[in-house]
Copies of this chain bind each other. A is one copy, B any other.
Amino acid sequence: MVNDSPKLRKIATEEAWCIPEVAAGLRAVTCGPSSSLDKLLLAGIYDAAGKTSGYSMFNFLDGLLDVEKQRLAEMDELGIDMQLLSLTAPGGQMFDADTATDLAALANDCMAEICRRRPTRFAGLASFAPQSPKRAAKEMERAIRTLKLNGFILNSHTHGEYLDDPKYWPILEAAEGLDACIYIHPRAPSDGLKGPLQDYGMDTAMWGYGVEVGTHAVRMMAAGVFDQFPKLKICIGHMGEAIPFWIWRINFMNGRAQKVGRAPKTKLSIEEYFIGNFVITTSGVEDPLALDYSIRRLGIDNVMWAIDYPYQPMKPAVQFLDSAPITVAQRHKLYHENAERIFHIEPLSTSAK
Protein backbone atom coordinates (compact mmCIF):
# COMPACT_ATOMS: atom_id res chain seq x y z
CA MET A 1 0.00 0.00 0.00
CA VAL A 2 1.16 3.52 -0.75
CA ASN A 3 1.04 5.79 2.26
CA ASP A 4 -0.60 8.89 0.84
CA SER A 5 -1.84 10.32 4.12
CA PRO A 6 -0.05 13.30 5.61
CA LYS A 7 -0.95 12.22 9.08
CA LEU A 8 1.80 9.67 9.73
CA ARG A 9 4.66 10.48 7.39
CA LYS A 10 7.44 7.91 7.71
CA ILE A 11 10.97 9.26 7.36
CA ALA A 12 13.78 6.75 7.82
CA THR A 13 16.94 8.53 8.96
CA GLU A 14 19.94 6.19 8.63
CA GLU A 15 19.74 4.78 5.13
CA ALA A 16 22.94 3.75 3.42
CA TRP A 17 23.77 4.33 -0.22
CA CYS A 18 26.91 4.26 -2.33
CA ILE A 19 28.28 5.55 -5.61
CA PRO A 20 30.33 3.29 -7.92
CA GLU A 21 33.47 5.40 -7.46
CA VAL A 22 33.48 4.91 -3.68
CA ALA A 23 32.65 1.22 -4.07
CA ALA A 24 35.68 0.86 -6.37
CA GLY A 25 37.88 2.58 -3.80
CA LEU A 26 36.65 0.34 -1.00
CA ARG A 27 37.20 -2.75 -3.15
CA ALA A 28 40.81 -1.62 -3.60
CA VAL A 29 41.18 -1.27 0.18
CA THR A 30 40.26 -4.90 0.65
CA CYS A 31 43.25 -5.92 -1.50
CA GLY A 32 45.66 -3.47 0.13
CA PRO A 33 47.88 -3.50 3.21
CA SER A 34 45.63 -1.58 5.61
CA SER A 35 45.54 -2.95 9.15
CA SER A 36 42.00 -1.62 9.58
CA LEU A 37 39.46 -3.95 11.07
CA ASP A 38 37.00 -2.60 8.49
CA LYS A 39 38.62 -4.87 5.92
CA LEU A 40 36.75 -7.91 7.25
CA LEU A 41 33.32 -6.56 6.38
CA LEU A 42 34.45 -4.62 3.30
CA ALA A 43 35.84 -7.80 1.78
CA GLY A 44 32.45 -9.44 2.23
CA ILE A 45 30.60 -6.59 0.52
CA TYR A 46 32.94 -5.22 -2.16
CA ASP A 47 35.46 -7.87 -3.11
CA ALA A 48 34.12 -9.54 -6.21
CA ALA A 49 36.67 -12.31 -5.69
CA GLY A 50 35.28 -12.84 -2.21
CA LYS A 51 32.29 -14.82 -3.38
CA THR A 52 33.11 -17.42 -0.75
CA SER A 53 32.01 -14.81 1.78
CA GLY A 54 28.64 -15.62 3.23
CA TYR A 55 27.74 -11.93 2.96
CA SER A 56 27.02 -12.42 -0.73
CA MET A 57 23.67 -13.89 0.31
CA PHE A 58 22.59 -10.43 1.43
CA ASN A 59 23.55 -8.57 -1.77
CA PHE A 60 24.38 -5.46 0.24
CA LEU A 61 26.23 -3.90 -2.70
CA ASP A 62 23.22 -4.05 -5.01
CA GLY A 63 21.13 -2.48 -2.29
CA LEU A 64 23.68 0.29 -1.74
CA LEU A 65 24.02 1.25 -5.39
CA ASP A 66 20.28 1.34 -6.06
CA VAL A 67 17.97 4.16 -5.09
CA GLU A 68 15.04 4.52 -7.46
CA LYS A 69 14.41 0.91 -8.43
CA GLN A 70 14.13 -1.81 -5.80
CA ARG A 71 14.57 0.60 -2.88
CA LEU A 72 11.84 2.99 -3.97
CA ALA A 73 9.49 0.17 -4.91
CA GLU A 74 9.87 -1.36 -1.47
CA MET A 75 9.38 2.02 0.19
CA ASP A 76 6.13 2.39 -1.76
CA GLU A 77 4.99 -1.05 -0.79
CA LEU A 78 5.61 -0.42 2.91
CA GLY A 79 4.38 3.16 3.06
CA ILE A 80 7.80 4.65 3.75
CA ASP A 81 7.55 8.25 2.59
CA MET A 82 11.18 9.25 2.70
CA GLN A 83 14.68 7.96 3.28
CA LEU A 84 17.42 10.25 4.54
CA LEU A 85 20.33 8.87 2.52
CA SER A 86 23.97 8.81 3.56
CA LEU A 87 27.13 7.53 1.89
CA THR A 88 27.78 4.13 3.40
CA ALA A 89 30.53 3.50 5.98
CA PRO A 90 33.45 4.05 6.05
CA GLY A 91 32.76 6.57 3.27
CA GLY A 92 36.00 8.17 2.15
CA GLN A 93 37.66 7.99 5.54
CA MET A 94 40.13 5.26 4.57
CA PHE A 95 41.41 7.18 1.55
CA ASP A 96 44.05 9.90 1.30
CA ALA A 97 42.87 13.46 1.91
CA ASP A 98 42.70 14.54 -1.72
CA THR A 99 40.86 11.45 -2.91
CA ALA A 100 38.47 11.68 0.02
CA THR A 101 37.82 15.36 -0.61
CA ASP A 102 37.05 14.72 -4.28
CA LEU A 103 34.85 11.71 -3.59
CA ALA A 104 32.87 13.57 -0.90
CA ALA A 105 32.06 16.33 -3.39
CA LEU A 106 31.13 13.81 -6.07
CA ALA A 107 28.90 11.88 -3.69
CA ASN A 108 27.23 15.07 -2.52
CA ASP A 109 26.52 16.11 -6.10
CA CYS A 110 24.98 12.71 -6.87
CA MET A 111 22.95 12.81 -3.68
CA ALA A 112 21.66 16.32 -4.35
CA GLU A 113 20.57 15.23 -7.82
CA ILE A 114 18.54 12.35 -6.37
CA CYS A 115 16.96 14.69 -3.81
CA ARG A 116 16.11 17.25 -6.49
CA ARG A 117 14.51 14.57 -8.64
CA ARG A 118 12.49 13.10 -5.76
CA PRO A 119 12.12 15.91 -3.23
CA THR A 120 9.41 14.19 -1.21
CA ARG A 121 11.07 10.76 -1.23
CA PHE A 122 14.74 11.40 -0.53
CA ALA A 123 16.75 13.76 1.61
CA GLY A 124 20.45 13.38 2.29
CA LEU A 125 23.30 13.72 4.74
CA ALA A 126 26.36 15.18 3.06
CA SER A 127 29.83 13.68 3.24
CA PHE A 128 33.05 15.53 3.94
CA ALA A 129 36.69 14.49 4.22
CA PRO A 130 37.89 14.92 7.82
CA GLN A 131 41.43 14.20 6.57
CA SER A 132 41.43 17.82 5.41
CA PRO A 133 39.39 19.76 7.97
CA LYS A 134 39.58 23.11 6.23
CA ARG A 135 38.47 21.79 2.86
CA ALA A 136 35.86 19.73 4.71
CA ALA A 137 34.41 22.91 6.20
CA LYS A 138 34.14 24.44 2.73
CA GLU A 139 32.43 21.37 1.31
CA MET A 140 30.06 21.36 4.27
CA GLU A 141 29.03 24.90 3.49
CA ARG A 142 28.50 24.06 -0.18
CA ALA A 143 26.50 20.97 0.73
CA ILE A 144 24.06 22.93 2.87
CA ARG A 145 23.89 26.33 1.18
CA THR A 146 24.19 25.31 -2.47
CA LEU A 147 23.15 21.66 -2.62
CA LYS A 148 20.46 22.06 0.07
CA LEU A 149 21.35 18.80 1.77
CA ASN A 150 20.09 18.11 5.29
CA GLY A 151 23.05 17.47 7.56
CA PHE A 152 26.25 15.45 7.63
CA ILE A 153 27.47 11.90 7.99
CA LEU A 154 30.75 10.94 9.66
CA ASN A 155 31.86 7.33 10.01
CA SER A 156 33.42 7.57 13.47
CA HIS A 157 37.22 7.58 13.65
CA THR A 158 39.56 8.81 10.91
CA HIS A 159 42.90 7.00 11.03
CA GLY A 160 42.22 6.33 14.74
CA GLU A 161 41.40 9.94 15.61
CA TYR A 162 38.16 11.35 16.97
CA LEU A 163 36.33 14.67 16.80
CA ASP A 164 37.52 15.74 20.27
CA ASP A 165 40.90 16.41 18.62
CA PRO A 166 41.08 20.20 18.07
CA LYS A 167 42.46 19.63 14.59
CA TYR A 168 38.92 18.63 13.58
CA TRP A 169 37.23 21.62 15.16
CA PRO A 170 36.84 23.55 11.86
CA ILE A 171 34.37 20.77 11.03
CA LEU A 172 32.45 21.26 14.26
CA GLU A 173 32.48 25.02 13.81
CA ALA A 174 31.06 24.63 10.30
CA ALA A 175 28.32 22.23 11.42
CA GLU A 176 27.29 24.49 14.29
CA GLY A 177 27.37 27.60 12.10
CA LEU A 178 25.24 25.90 9.45
CA ASP A 179 22.81 24.55 12.09
CA ALA A 180 23.36 21.12 10.56
CA CYS A 181 23.48 17.90 12.58
CA ILE A 182 26.40 15.45 12.23
CA TYR A 183 25.33 11.81 12.26
CA ILE A 184 28.20 9.75 13.69
CA HIS A 185 27.79 6.39 12.02
CA PRO A 186 29.78 3.29 12.99
CA ARG A 187 32.75 1.78 11.28
CA ALA A 188 34.91 -1.00 12.73
CA PRO A 189 36.81 -0.09 15.91
CA SER A 190 40.03 1.88 15.47
CA ASP A 191 43.36 0.06 15.59
CA GLY A 192 43.88 1.01 19.24
CA LEU A 193 40.52 -0.45 20.17
CA LYS A 194 40.36 -3.54 18.01
CA GLY A 195 42.41 -6.09 19.99
CA PRO A 196 39.73 -8.34 21.52
CA LEU A 197 37.07 -7.29 18.99
CA GLN A 198 38.59 -9.26 16.12
CA ASP A 199 37.09 -12.63 16.99
CA TYR A 200 33.67 -14.24 16.55
CA GLY A 201 32.38 -11.51 14.23
CA MET A 202 32.52 -8.93 17.03
CA ASP A 203 34.18 -6.34 14.77
CA THR A 204 30.86 -5.18 13.33
CA ALA A 205 27.35 -4.49 14.54
CA MET A 206 27.33 -7.37 17.04
CA TRP A 207 29.48 -5.34 19.42
CA GLY A 208 32.41 -3.42 17.91
CA TYR A 209 30.38 -0.73 16.14
CA GLY A 210 28.68 0.29 19.34
CA VAL A 211 31.93 0.32 21.31
CA GLU A 212 33.51 2.47 18.61
CA VAL A 213 30.76 5.09 18.30
CA GLY A 214 29.98 5.09 22.02
CA THR A 215 33.65 5.76 22.71
CA HIS A 216 33.60 8.57 20.15
CA ALA A 217 30.58 10.23 21.76
CA VAL A 218 31.94 9.92 25.31
CA ARG A 219 35.30 11.34 24.21
CA MET A 220 33.54 14.40 22.79
CA MET A 221 31.45 14.98 25.90
CA ALA A 222 34.27 14.33 28.38
CA ALA A 223 36.69 16.55 26.45
CA GLY A 224 34.35 19.49 26.77
CA VAL A 225 33.74 19.86 23.03
CA PHE A 226 30.21 21.14 23.66
CA ASP A 227 31.48 24.03 25.73
CA GLN A 228 33.26 25.20 22.58
CA PHE A 229 30.28 24.45 20.34
CA PRO A 230 27.21 24.68 22.57
CA LYS A 231 24.72 24.51 19.70
CA LEU A 232 26.40 21.58 17.93
CA LYS A 233 23.98 18.70 17.34
CA ILE A 234 25.21 15.11 17.03
CA CYS A 235 23.05 12.14 16.05
CA ILE A 236 23.97 8.56 16.89
CA GLY A 237 22.07 5.48 15.81
CA HIS A 238 21.42 2.02 17.23
CA MET A 239 19.38 3.35 20.13
CA GLY A 240 22.22 5.62 21.21
CA GLU A 241 25.00 3.01 21.15
CA ALA A 242 24.26 2.01 24.79
CA ILE A 243 24.96 5.49 26.19
CA PRO A 244 21.33 6.08 27.23
CA PHE A 245 21.51 3.00 29.45
CA TRP A 246 24.92 3.85 30.91
CA ILE A 247 24.33 7.56 31.34
CA TRP A 248 23.97 7.52 35.13
CA ARG A 249 27.35 5.85 35.58
CA ILE A 250 29.15 7.89 32.92
CA ASN A 251 27.77 11.04 34.49
CA PHE A 252 28.64 10.06 38.07
CA MET A 253 32.14 8.91 37.20
CA ASN A 254 32.88 11.90 35.00
CA GLY A 255 31.96 14.11 37.95
CA ARG A 256 34.42 12.20 40.10
CA ALA A 257 37.14 12.27 37.41
CA GLN A 258 36.75 16.04 37.18
CA LYS A 259 36.99 16.31 40.97
CA VAL A 260 40.27 14.40 41.12
CA GLY A 261 41.72 16.19 38.10
CA ARG A 262 41.56 13.25 35.68
CA ALA A 263 39.01 14.79 33.29
CA PRO A 264 38.73 18.36 32.02
CA LYS A 265 36.36 20.66 33.88
CA THR A 266 33.22 21.21 31.83
CA LYS A 267 30.40 23.71 32.17
CA LEU A 268 27.64 21.11 32.08
CA SER A 269 27.40 17.46 33.06
CA ILE A 270 27.71 14.55 30.65
CA GLU A 271 24.00 13.91 31.05
CA GLU A 272 23.19 17.52 30.17
CA TYR A 273 25.34 17.31 27.03
CA PHE A 274 23.81 14.01 26.01
CA ILE A 275 20.26 15.30 26.36
CA GLY A 276 21.01 18.77 25.00
CA ASN A 277 23.43 18.08 22.15
CA PHE A 278 22.61 14.54 21.02
CA VAL A 279 19.71 12.85 19.33
CA ILE A 280 19.46 9.11 18.72
CA THR A 281 17.80 6.83 16.20
CA THR A 282 16.32 3.37 16.49
CA SER A 283 18.36 1.85 13.64
CA GLY A 284 19.06 -1.84 14.16
CA VAL A 285 17.41 -2.10 17.57
CA GLU A 286 13.84 -3.29 17.24
CA ASP A 287 13.25 -3.80 20.93
CA PRO A 288 10.12 -2.13 22.36
CA LEU A 289 11.58 -2.12 25.88
CA ALA A 290 14.77 -0.37 24.77
CA LEU A 291 12.66 2.17 22.88
CA ASP A 292 10.45 2.77 25.90
CA TYR A 293 13.51 3.22 28.10
CA SER A 294 15.14 5.67 25.68
CA ILE A 295 12.03 7.80 25.38
CA ARG A 296 11.69 7.98 29.15
CA ARG A 297 15.40 8.65 29.68
CA LEU A 298 16.09 11.18 26.91
CA GLY A 299 12.67 12.59 26.13
CA ILE A 300 10.49 11.94 23.11
CA ASP A 301 12.05 14.83 21.15
CA ASN A 302 15.45 13.09 21.12
CA VAL A 303 14.53 9.82 19.41
CA MET A 304 13.99 9.20 15.68
CA TRP A 305 13.09 6.24 13.57
CA ALA A 306 15.65 4.65 11.24
CA ILE A 307 15.94 1.38 9.33
CA ASP A 308 19.64 1.05 8.46
CA TYR A 309 18.76 -0.15 4.96
CA PRO A 310 20.12 -2.21 3.22
CA TYR A 311 21.94 -3.69 6.22
CA GLN A 312 18.61 -4.15 7.99
CA PRO A 313 15.41 -5.06 6.12
CA MET A 314 12.71 -2.40 5.81
CA LYS A 315 9.64 -4.38 6.76
CA PRO A 316 10.52 -5.38 10.35
CA ALA A 317 11.61 -1.80 11.05
CA VAL A 318 8.18 -0.53 10.01
CA GLN A 319 6.41 -3.27 11.92
CA PHE A 320 8.49 -2.44 14.97
CA LEU A 321 7.39 1.18 15.19
CA ASP A 322 3.84 0.50 13.96
CA SER A 323 3.35 -1.95 16.81
CA ALA A 324 5.36 -0.20 19.55
CA PRO A 325 3.17 0.58 22.58
CA ILE A 326 3.41 4.37 22.27
CA THR A 327 0.87 7.16 21.83
CA VAL A 328 -0.14 8.60 18.47
CA ALA A 329 1.66 11.85 19.32
CA GLN A 330 4.82 9.91 20.16
CA ARG A 331 4.60 7.97 16.91
CA HIS A 332 4.45 11.22 14.95
CA LYS A 333 7.56 12.50 16.77
CA LEU A 334 9.51 9.30 16.10
CA TYR A 335 8.37 8.75 12.52
CA HIS A 336 8.78 12.27 11.17
CA GLU A 337 8.43 15.36 13.37
CA ASN A 338 11.82 15.02 15.06
CA ALA A 339 13.53 14.25 11.75
CA GLU A 340 11.87 17.28 10.15
CA ARG A 341 13.18 19.50 12.96
CA ILE A 342 16.70 18.04 13.26
CA PHE A 343 17.39 17.59 9.56
CA HIS A 344 15.42 20.59 8.27
CA ILE A 345 13.06 18.51 6.16
CA GLU A 346 10.03 20.52 5.09
CA PRO A 347 6.88 19.32 6.85
CA LEU A 348 4.27 17.88 4.49
CA SER A 349 1.64 20.48 5.24
CA THR A 350 3.70 23.15 3.52
CA SER A 351 5.42 21.04 0.87
CA ALA A 352 4.27 20.13 -2.59
CA LYS A 353 3.59 16.42 -2.59
Contact check, A195 vs B193: say whether CB atoms are below 8 A apart.
Answer: yes
Instruction: Select the residue from A53, A199, A222, A284 with max chain B CB neighbours within 10 A.
Output: A199
Count of residues in A whose CB is under 8 Å from the partner chain: 67
The CA-CA distance from A192 to B244 in the complex, in Å, is: 26
A344 and B23 CA atoms in complex are apart in Å by 57
Are A223 and B199 in contact (CB-based, < 8 A)? yes
Pairwise interchain contact B242-A219, C-beta atoms closer than 8 A: no
Decide if B192 touches A264 in the complex (CB within 8 Å). Answer: no
Within 8 A of B (CB), among A31-87: 40, 44, 53-55, 57-58
The answer for the CA separation of A162 and B257 in the assembled complex, in Å, is: 28
Selected interface stretch from A90-98, A128-136, A166-174, A204-212: A204-212
Q: Which residues of chain A in 211-236 are interfacial with respect to chain B, using CB atoms and an 8 Å cutoff?
A: 211, 214-216, 218-219, 222-223
Copies of the protein in its oligomer: 2
Known: A44-B260, A54-B259, A290-B248. A197 touches B215 (CB 8 A): yes
A253 and B201 in contact (CB under 8 A), knowing A54-B260, A193-B193? yes
CB-based nearest B residue for A157 = B196
- Chain B, residue nearest A246 (CB): B242
| A138 on the B face (CB < 8 A) | no
A128 to B261, CA, bound (A): 34
Chain B nearest CB from A270 CB (Å) reads: 8
C-alpha gap A254/B208 in the complex (Å):
12
A199 to B163, CA, bound (A): 13
* A285:B218 contact, CB within 8 angstroms: no
Chain A residues 143-169 with CB under 8 Å of chain B are 157, 160, 162, 164
With A and B bound together, what is the CA distance between A251 and B308 in angstroms? 17
| Among candidates B40, B223, B245, B257, residue contacting A245 with C-beta atoms closer than 8 Å | B245
A196 near B245: Cβ-Cβ < 8 Å: no
A239 at the A/B interface (Cβ < 8 Å)?
A: yes
Q: A242-B242, A249-B210, A290-B245 are in contact. Are A200 and B219 (CB under 8 A)?
A: yes
A 83-119 contacts with B by CB, 8 A = none
Whether B55 contacts A260 by the Cβ 8 Å rule is yes
- Is A314 in contact with chain B by the CB < 8 A criterion? no
Report if A201-B222 is in contact (Cβ < 8 Å); known contacts: A54-B260, A192-B195, A249-B285.
Answer: yes
19 inter-chain pairs at a CB distance below 8 angstroms, sorted by A residue, are A57-B259, A193-B193, A199-B222, A200-B262, A201-B222, A201-B263, A202-B219, A204-B257, A205-B249, A206-B218, A206-B249, A206-B263, A207-B214, A207-B250, A245-B246, A252-B284, A289-B293, A289-B297, A293-B293
Question: Apart from A201-B257, A201-B262, A206-B254, what 9 extra A-B contacts exist at CB < 8 Å?
Answer: A54-B260, A55-B260, A57-B259, A160-B196, A190-B195, A192-B196, A206-B218, A206-B249, A245-B245
Q: Which residues of A contact B (CB under 8 A)?
A: 40, 44, 53-55, 57-58, 157, 160, 162, 164, 190-197, 199-202, 204-207, 210-211, 214-216, 218-219, 222-223, 238-239, 242, 244-250, 252-254, 257-264, 284-287, 289-290, 292-293, 296-297
